[in-house]
């Protein structure tokens, strides 16, 4: 038999026909289409049982309770708000919801690092063991001990047990240079000290307010405790018609809060104090103020000081200097509007005015704070339901006094490198940078940085890096931020999900909160708790330093403080939904725990202890007069320059850097919820929330009014150069009516050079061209504005 061509074709045709009648081709076709679904190298989350663990978010000072969803008790897959936590009541902000991207993101520092080459060179920042790192640090500290005041610690967190331990270490070692990053909380605390006699933070009883007047406070944009504010806003807006809380927003930018308010009073940037005093002037002139409160206050009428000299009081000041006509000229708000607003504010009860522009984190001038709070006092809202007061402090046990040897005592008596011109208990980082670079009055030798990113967040970032030439820097950062990149030694901390950490009462709260974050999973890397590091370091040093740290570890030190809560016999561990502590203000709460051990156990399970027994302040004020002081006598004692005005809230026209002829516009930075601007950088989830008129590709967009743009010949999206006396950067313009004519608004939080590929190089950092004013009392940088010119890109 011979197989010819035709026969072969038939064989093949038969074969093809047979195959087509089998599943082979169809199955293969299907398999090819689902081929990639089970690739072994494709990331696949582990499956398993889910558990929820309660803890507290530490990504901002907002103090929200969160629940972390874990798979197989080791992989965190989601963060939700904890409905039992009274602060956020189940709510969560974008930063908290993105929290896992900090835990698993690529910017984590995995081991201690030592710079072996030139500062800032990441290739020579080499891993080192914890034992070696601590040995090196202990040796350096031992060597510096003759001049202990050369040790400087800069923290982004003024409260909490780690900061207390750091401050304690500096005191025991012999340095007065414990500094907090510039913060409105510092201004607020000083303001309360001089007007009400006690440092602390302002408590706003917002849940009961009938009228809320915000002086630039972005109440739904991250001001105060952000999730609490969202819940409060929800409460104001959920009331039936007629009982709805009225919201008035005064500020230069049409922020989210301006758009959610019933009324937006657009004023010139930096004139909030003038507006507040203008309202006060109308209220005083029309006698709409609370006669009862004013009768019991000091400095409303003219007064005489110890030497019998007559001094100006608040009443004559506002009548003389802040008539609506003049305030209208300063602020740009209509005279009639000022009068109308004043009447409404005085007649609606309870009414409350909010201070702290933007998110209330960047410092404002002390006198602006005093002006707004005087307005609250004037209408009798102080210590009243729906009004303001002082946030009560949690009754934590005080640690034993620090043991100080001679070296320590001498060192601590040296002048503070961050001291302001006046003798105020505020630390100025601007002054620190200046004195560090001058080497006067003495040379700083080592800088510790904890929960702060000064190389990014300070306008003096460059000056700081120059000043660091002669200084060793130690970073406790969990992430490769701009400051850690410049460090000589990095001692990485575990993230907030991997460590024990306490949290104080969040900003603006009217009841006491003690938050406790517990580790929801084991540390992913070779990190150590900064509290443990400080204690270990202290124990390895000579002198009396070790004696000041009688605890084995951070947990022991923390537990000792928490014992005070159990001893207080009032307060709840928030373990059920629907707690409304603000409704029980001033009442003693029957504790829902039996002993310290029980309290600790419940705290670690639930995360929050709260109490209402102290209210928002009661009894005599601890000022010299024993009264609320409109004229703050203590400011004169502190050596604040200026005659009568030194003690009185007043408006000072900001002196903006730059010649108006050369720089015709004004730059004002602003904050938004979609951009974090503390020690952290945006996680990818949050960056996704930015609109393309905020960040277009890698270009930052700045807000400018269409009128201003037309004059300069600018069109939407055009790239421009923005120039101030400090520098120039490139951005695109976004034309919008939320921007006041003549002002360029620039968001804070972009332009990172550190962290990871997801945020690096996106946008520009406004701090690089911003020239803040230094508040003349506190020495803190304030964002009143910087003169700016638009140049060719």
Closest CA to 346 of 290, 277, 266: 290
Position 522 contacts another protein (CB under 8 A): no
R_g over Cα of the chain: 29
Binding-residue total with another protein (CB under 8 A): 39
Q: Is residue 72 at the binding interface for another protein, with CB under 8 A as the rule?
A: no
d(CA 765, CA 755): 14
Q: Does 620 bind another protein (CB under 8 A)?
A: no
Residue 74 interacts with another protein (CB under 8 A)?
no
Among 734, 730, 726, 729, CA closest to 708: 734
Burial of 376 (0-12, 13-18, 19+ CB in 10 A): buried
Choose one: 46-54, 599-607, 619-627, 678-686; the region binding another protein (CB under 8 A).
46-54
31 is a site residue for another protein (CB under 8 A): yes
Smallest gap from Cβ 5 to another protein, in A, equals 10
Residue numbers 523-562 binding another protein by CB under 8 A: none
The closest alpha carbon to 87, from 209, 225, 235, 203, belongs to 225
Contact 571, 195 (CB under 8 A): no
Using rule CB under 8 A, residue 32 touches another protein: yes
Q: Single out the segment in contact with another protein by CB under 8 A; choices: 45-53, 207-215, 431-439, 458-466.
A: 45-53
User: Smallest distance from the beta carbon of 201 to another protein, in angstroms?
Assistant: 40
CB of 24 to another protein, least distance (A): 4
Q: Which is nearer to another protein, 31 or 243 (CB)?
A: 31
Residue 97 Cβ vs another protein, minimum distance, rounded to whole Å: 17
Host H or E run for residue 96:
helix 94-97
- In the complex, minimum distance from the CB of residue 28 to another protein, in angstroms, rounded to a whole number: 8
Burial class (CB in 10 A: 0-12, 13-18, 19+), 495: buried
**Closer of 20 and 710 to another protein (Cβ):** 20
Q: Which of residues 40 and 287 has its CB atom nearest to another protein in the complex?
A: 40
Nearest to 266 by CA among 322, 209, 341, 206: 341
How far is residue 119 from each of residues 126, 447, 627, 635, measured CA to CA in Å? 12, 14, 54, 42
Buried b (16+ CB within 10 A) or exposed e, 30-48: eeeeeeeeeeeeeeeeeee
* Residue 41 engages another protein in binding (rule: CB under 8 A): no
Strands (E), 377-438: 388-390
Q: Please, where are the H alpha helices in 175-271?
A: 184-196, 226-238, 256-260
CB of 365 to another protein, least distance (A): 51
Q: Which stretch binds another protein (CB under 8 A): 8-16, 107-115, 661-669, 759-767?
A: 8-16
Shortest distance in whole angstroms from residue 41 CB to another protein: 12
CA 431 to chain centre: 21
Select the span of 44-52, 78-86, 385-393, 704-712 touching another protein (CB under 8 A). Answer: 44-52
24 scored as a contact of another protein (CB under 8 A): yes
Residue 16 interacting with another protein (CB under 8 A): yes
**Distance, CA of 253 to CA of 372 (rounded, Å):** 19
Task: Phi first, then psi: give them for residue 729, nearest 5 degrees.
Answer: -140, 170
Nearer to another protein, 19 or 129 (CB): 19
Q: Which range, of 33-41, 217-225, 294-302, 527-535, touches another protein by CB under 8 A?
A: 33-41
Q: Does 49 bind another protein (CB under 8 A)?
A: yes
Region binding another protein by CB under 8 A among candidate stretches 23-31, 164-172, 338-346, 359-367 = 23-31
Q: Contact between 77 and another protein (CB under 8 A)?
A: no
Applying CB under 8 A, which part among 5-13, 231-239, 265-273, 699-707 lies near another protein?
5-13
* Sequence-ordered strand ranges (E) for 253-298: 263-266
Residue 245: is it exposed, middle or buried by C-beta count within 10 angstroms (0-12/13-18/19+)?
A: buried
Residue 369: helix, strand or coil by DSSP? Answer: helix
Binding of residue 18 to another protein (CB under 8 A): yes
What is the nearest approach in angstroms of another protein to the Cβ of residue 67?
A: 13
Residue 109: count of CB within 10 angstroms of its CB: 24
What is the Cα–Cα distance from 638 to 365, expressed in whole angstroms?
A: 16
Nearer to another protein, 27 or 135 (CB): 27
Per CB under 8 A, the segment of 22-30, 488-496, 512-520, 653-661 that binds another protein is 22-30
Q: Nearest approach, Cβ of 32 to another protein (angstroms)?
A: 8
Is residue 373 within 8 A of residue 190, CB to CB? The reply is no
Q: Is residue 27 near another protein by the rule CB under 8 A?
A: yes
Smallest distance from another protein to CB 27, Å: 7
Tell me: does residue 40 bind another protein (CB under 8 A): yes
Q: Residue 45 or 308: which CB sits closer to another protein?
A: 45
Q: What does each C-alpha distance from 236 to 63, 79, 648 come to in angstroms?
A: 22, 27, 33
Question: Of residues 670-699, which lie at the interface with another protein (CB under 8 A)?
Answer: none
Minimum Å distance from CB 34 to another protein? 5
Scanning 10-18, 117-125, 642-650, 760-768 for contacts with another protein by CB under 8 A, the matching segment is 10-18
Length of the chain: 793
**Angle at 297 (CA atoms; ends 189, 425), nearest 5 degrees:** 20
Does 243 interact with another protein (rule: CB under 8 A)?
Answer: no
Instruction: Give residues in contact with another protein (CB under 8 A).
Output: 1-4, 6-8, 10-25, 27-28, 31-32, 34-35, 37-40, 42, 44-45, 47, 49-50
């Amino acid at each position: 038999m011979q197989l010819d061509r035709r026969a072969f074709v038939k064989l093949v045709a038969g074969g093809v026909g047979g195959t087509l009648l089998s599943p082979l081709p169809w199955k293969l076709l299907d398999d090819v289409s689902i081929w990639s679904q089970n690739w072994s190298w494709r990331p696949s989350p582990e499956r398993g049982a889910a558990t929820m663990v309660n803890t507290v978010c530490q990504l901002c000072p907002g103090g929200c309770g969160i629940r972390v969803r874990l798979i197989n008790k080791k992989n965190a897959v989601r963060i939700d708000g904890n409905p039992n936590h009274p602060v956020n009541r189940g709510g969560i902000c974008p930063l908290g919801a993105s929290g896992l991207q900090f835990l698993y993101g690529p910017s984590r520092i995995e081991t201690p690092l030592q710079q072996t080459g030139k500062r800032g060179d990441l290739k020579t920042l080499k891993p080192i063991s914890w034992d070696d790192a601590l040995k090196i640090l202990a040796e350096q500290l031992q060597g510096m001990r003759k001049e202990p005041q050369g040790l400087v610690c800069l923290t982004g967190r003024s409260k909490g047990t780690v900061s207390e331990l750091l401050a304690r270490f500096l005191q025991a070692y012999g340095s007065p240079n414990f500094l907090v990053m510039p913060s409105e909380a510092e201004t607020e605390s000083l303001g309360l000290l001089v007007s009400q006699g006690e440092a602390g933070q302002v408590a706003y009883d917002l849940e009961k307010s009938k009228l809320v007047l915000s002086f630039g406070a972005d109440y739904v944009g991250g001001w105060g405790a952000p999730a609490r504010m969202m819940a409060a806003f929800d409460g104001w807006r959920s009331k039936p018609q007629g009982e709805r809380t009225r919201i008035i927003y005064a500020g230069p930018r049409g922020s989210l809060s301006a758009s959610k308010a019933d009324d937006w009073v657009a004023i010139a940037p930096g004139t909030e104090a003038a507006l507040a005093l203008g309202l006060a002037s109308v209220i005083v002139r029309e006698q709409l103020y609370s006669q009862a409160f004013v009768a019991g206050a000091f400095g409303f009428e003219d007064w005489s000081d110890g030497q019998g000299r007559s001094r100006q009081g608040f009443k004559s000041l506002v009548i003389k200097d802040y008539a609506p006509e003049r305030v209208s000229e300063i602020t740009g708000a209509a005279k009639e509007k000022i009068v109308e607003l004043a009447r409404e504010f005085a007649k609606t009860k309870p009414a409350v005015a909010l201070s702290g522009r933007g998110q209330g984190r960047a410092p404002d001038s002390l006198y602006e704070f005093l002006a707004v709070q005087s307005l609250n006092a004037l209408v009798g809202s102080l210590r009243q339901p729906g009004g303001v007061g002082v946030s009560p402090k949690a009754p934590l046990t005080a640690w034993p006094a620090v043991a100080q040897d001679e070296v320590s005592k001498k060192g601590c008596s040296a002048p503070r490198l961050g001291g302001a011109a006046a003798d105020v208990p505020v630390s100025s980082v601007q002054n620190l940078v200046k004195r560090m670079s001058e080497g006067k009055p003495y040379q700083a030798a080592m800088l510790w940085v904890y929960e702060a990113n000064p190389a990014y967040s300070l306008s003096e970032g460059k000056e700081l890096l120059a000043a660091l030439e002669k200084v060793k820097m130690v970073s406790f950062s969990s992430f490769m931020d701009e400051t850690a990149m410049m460090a000589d030694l990095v001692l990485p901390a575990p993230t907030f999900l991997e460590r024990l950490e306490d949290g104080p009462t969040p900003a603006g709260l009217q009841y006491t909160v003690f938050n406790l974050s517990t580790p929801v999973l084991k540390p992913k890397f070779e990190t150590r708790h900064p509290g443990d590091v400080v204690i270990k370091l202290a124990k390895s040093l000579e002198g009396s330093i070790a004696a000041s740290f009688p605890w084995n570890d951070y947990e022991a030190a923390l537990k000792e403080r928490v014992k005070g809560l159990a001893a207080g016999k009032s307060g709840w561990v928030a373990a059920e939904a629907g707690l409304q502590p603000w409704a029980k203000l001033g009442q003693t709460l029957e504790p829902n725990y039996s002993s310290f051990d029980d309290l600790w156990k419940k705290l670690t399970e639930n995360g929050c202890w709260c109490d209402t027994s102290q209210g928002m302040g009661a009894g005599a004020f601890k000022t010299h007069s024993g009264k609320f002081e409109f004229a703050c006598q203590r400011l004169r004692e502190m050596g604040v320059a200026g005659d009568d005005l030194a003690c009185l809230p007043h408006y000072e026209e900001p002196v903006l850097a730059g010649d108006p002829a050369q720089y015709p516009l004004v730059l004002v930075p602003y904050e938004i919820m979609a951009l974090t601007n503390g020690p952290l950088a945006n996680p990818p989830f949050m960056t996704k929330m930015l609109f393309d008129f905020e960040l277009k590709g890698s270009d930052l967009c700045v807000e400018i009014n269409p009128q201003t743009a037309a004059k300069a010949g600018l069109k939407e999206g055009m790239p421009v150069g923005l120039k101030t006396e400090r520098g120039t950067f490139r951005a695109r313009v976004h034309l919008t009516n939320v921007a006041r004519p003549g002002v360029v608004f620039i968001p804070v939080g972009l332009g990172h050079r550190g962290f990871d590929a997801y945020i690096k190089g996106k946008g520009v950092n406004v701090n690089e061209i911003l020239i803040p004013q230094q508040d003349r009392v506190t020495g803190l940088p304030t964002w009143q504005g910087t003169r700016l010119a638009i140049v060719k890109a």
